[in-house]
């Protein structure tokens, strides 16, 4: 997906700051290489599409014809991942973070030392998919079992419950204990085992679902190709592939490999994405009946994050506010003379079903309204103010933002804070019309003379709307190469 130049420059500057002196030690993609890679990716996606491969979430996730129940929960925004510990017995070169401290189990930075509190959190926000991750969950097997049992006992069959593991500590006894505790699925990172399948073989048939989930490692593409038929033979249900991502922690390993690095909200590996698409195509060409799902970094950064923001936004949003595709709260208001604003309020007051969808502020110089009332607003002599707020669920208050307290039970509270993403943007005339068209699919109630605007104003309006697009929606397709 082509990226806005402003966002592109911001990402490059951010990546340079994050890696400091190490930035120049990385091999960044150049213009000619990026063009060749875009062409190859387009060709791969075209070939995959011709074979029936489908994508979702704006083209950032494919193939979605057959997904595990856990991946479906993630795609719907109803997945909670509990990091049961922060320790691991392996040292995979691609691991994004240090795994040296057991830590209290946590999700999205919120710790849950008591599994009962975690279950109440799951209930409060309506999760349908729950995963146990780490670290390595089998290094604290008793604790992992305790949380699994509590989730299954309290939520029954209402959730799909799975665990991530490198498999090194998987024994028949432990796997059966996990199954009996209520685990539906085990996901194995066989990349950490040199693609050995013995632990996976133990799990296949014991659980409802057995999945292999690994990063797409470019230099391992032939080895993975050899393993593909065997995965199906031993009973693996799904293969999930991820894009390699650079972090300050794994820099010392990834920077020494023959990789080309891409800018973005985070630094990723060019060859990893192309490898994932090639593996998917190879599976289809060889007629291997194994669903392959490529979970791109841009999907995780956009849609997974939006789902997390949306949970808090649903609690904080007022009736006259709306949620954007990106999980932000959109606040719309018109500003003008008290006479014009008052006239609009009088008109809305005559619509009984709109009662809670608008708010007239003291002084009658601003009226806040839901986008569902767009067609009822006369914008002829008023300006439109647009503001976006972001929310976060946190364990302790910062006291720097507006917040709400959520009582999970008599023992445990969590908090949702809300803060504006910059100042509000004020739109006039043609800018208002373009905003309605671009993000609401609507035309405002304006006099015909106000609809057109001069070419100069239209060009300026287009720039203003482009600046708001990143708050409203996500561009289509996989991340651009730059």
Query: What are the pLDDT digits (tens) for 170-188?
Result: 999 999 999 999 999 999 9
For the CA atoms of 220, 222, 228, 233, what is the dihedral angle to 10 degrees? -110
pLDDT of residue 475: 86
Domain assignment present for residue 477? The answer is: no
pLDDT of residue 446: 45
Please check whether residues 121 and 206 belong to one and the same domain.
yes
Based on the fold, state whether residues 99 and 17 are members of the same structural domain: yes
Residue 23 scores a pLDDT above 60 = yes
Q: Indicate if 145 and 65 belong to the same structural domain.
A: yes
- Judged against a pLDDT cut of 80, whether residue 1 lies above it is answered with no
Residues 10 and 61 in one domain: yes
152 and 256 within one domain: yes
SS3 401: coil
Cβ-count burial of 407 within 10 angstroms (0-12 exposed, 13-18 middle, 19+ buried)?
A: exposed
Place of tokens 């009226």: 367
Please tell me the predicted confidence (pLDDT) of residue 462: 83
- 24 and 154 share one domain: yes
CA 17-18-19 angle, 5° bins:
95
- State the residue range of the domain holding 238: 5-308
For the chain, what's the residue count? 482
At 2, the pLDDT band (50, 70, 90 cuts) reads low
Q: Which of 308, 339, 368 is the last residue of a domain?
A: 308
Last residue of a domain, one of 308, 337, 355: 308
| Choice between 4 and 144, residue whose per-residue pLDDT is larger | 144
Please compute the mean of the pLDDT values over residues 329-358 and round it to a whole number: 96
Residue at which a domain ends, from 308, 336, 357: 308
Mean of pLDDT values over 53-65? 97
Identify the DSSP state of 302.
Answer: I
Task: Average the pLDDT over 292-297 and give the result.
Answer: 97
- Report DSSP letters for 195-209, one per residue: T--HHHHHHTTTSSE
479 falls within a domain: no
> Mean pLDDT in the chain?
94
User: Would you state the pLDDT for residue 444?
Assistant: 54
Average of per-residue pLDDT across 96-110: 92
Whether 360 and 294 share a structural domain: no
Question: What's the pLDDT score for residue 43?
Answer: 98
Read off the pLDDT band of 266 (50, 70, 90): very high
Lowest-pLDDT range, 98-107, 123-132, 227-236?
A: 98-107
382 and 284: one domain?
no
The reply to whether 63 and 26 lie within a common domain is: yes
pLDDT at 101: 87
CA 432 to chain centre: 30
Together in a domain, 18 and 90: yes
Return the SS3 of 378.
Answer: strand
Q: What is the mean pLDDT of residues 355-384?
A: 95
pLDDT at 457: 54
Q: Is 43 helix (H, G, I), strand (E, B) or coil?
A: helix
């Amino acid at each position: 997906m082509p990226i806005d130049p402003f966002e592109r420059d911001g990402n490059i500057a951010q990546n340079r700051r994050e890696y400091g002196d190490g930035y120049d030690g990385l091999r960044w993609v150049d213009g000619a290489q990026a063009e060749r890679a875009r062409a190859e990716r387009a060709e791969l996606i075209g070939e995959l599409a011709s074979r029936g491969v489908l994508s979702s979430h704006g083209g950032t996730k494919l193939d979605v014809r057959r997904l595990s129940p856990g991946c479906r929960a993630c795609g719907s925004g109803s997945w909670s991942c509990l990091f049961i510990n922060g320790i691991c017995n392996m040292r995979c070169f691609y691991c994004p973070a240090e795994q040296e401290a057991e830590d209290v189990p946590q999700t999205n930075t919120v710790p849950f030392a008591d599994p009962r509190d975690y279950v109440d959190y799951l209930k409060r926000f309506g999760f349908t998919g729950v995963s146990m991750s780490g670290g390595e969950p089998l290094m604290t097997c008793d604790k992992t079992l305790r949380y699994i049992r509590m989730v299954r006992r309290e939520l029954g069959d209402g959730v799909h419950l799975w665990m991530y593991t490198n498999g090194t500590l998987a024994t028949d006894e432990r796997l059966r204990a996990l199954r009996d505790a209520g685990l539906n699925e085990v996901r194995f990172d066989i990349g950490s085992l040199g693609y050995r399948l013995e632990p996976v073989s133990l799990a296949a048939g014991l659980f409802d679902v057995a999945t292999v989930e690994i990063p797409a490692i470019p230099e391992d593409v032939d080895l993975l190709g050899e393993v593909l038929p065997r995965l199906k033979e031993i009973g693996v249900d799904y293969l999930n592939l991820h894009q390699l991502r650079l972090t300050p922690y794994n820099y010392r390993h990834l920077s020494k490999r023959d990789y080309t690095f891409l800018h973005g909200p985070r630094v990723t590996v060019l060859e990893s994405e192309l490898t994932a698409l090639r593996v998917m195509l190879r599976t289809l060409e060889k007629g291997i009946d194994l669903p392959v799902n490529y979970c791109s970094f841009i999907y995780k950064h956009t849609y997974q994050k939006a789902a997390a923001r949306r949970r808090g936004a649903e609690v904080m949003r007022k009736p006259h506010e709306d949620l954007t595709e990106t999980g932000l709260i959109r606040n719309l208001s018109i500003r003008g003379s008290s006479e014009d604003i008052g006239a609009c309020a009088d008109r809305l007051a005559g619509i009984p079903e709109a009662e809670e969808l608008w708010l007239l502020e003291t002084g009658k110089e601003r009226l806040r309204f839901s986008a569902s009332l767009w067609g009822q607003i006369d914008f002829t002599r008023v300006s439109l103010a647009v503001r976006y707020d972001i929310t976060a669920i946190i364990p302790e208050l910062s006291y720097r933002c507006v917040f709400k307290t959520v009582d999970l039970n008599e023992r445990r509270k969590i908090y949702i804070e809300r803060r504006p993403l910059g100042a509000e943007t004020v739109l006039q005339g043609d800018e208002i019309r373009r905003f309605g068209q671009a993000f609401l699919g609507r035309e405002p109630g304006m006099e015909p003379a106000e609809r057109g605007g001069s070419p100069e104003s239209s060009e300026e309006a287009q720039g203003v709307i482009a600046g708001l697009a990143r708050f409203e929606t996500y561009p289509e397709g996989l991340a651009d190469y730059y």
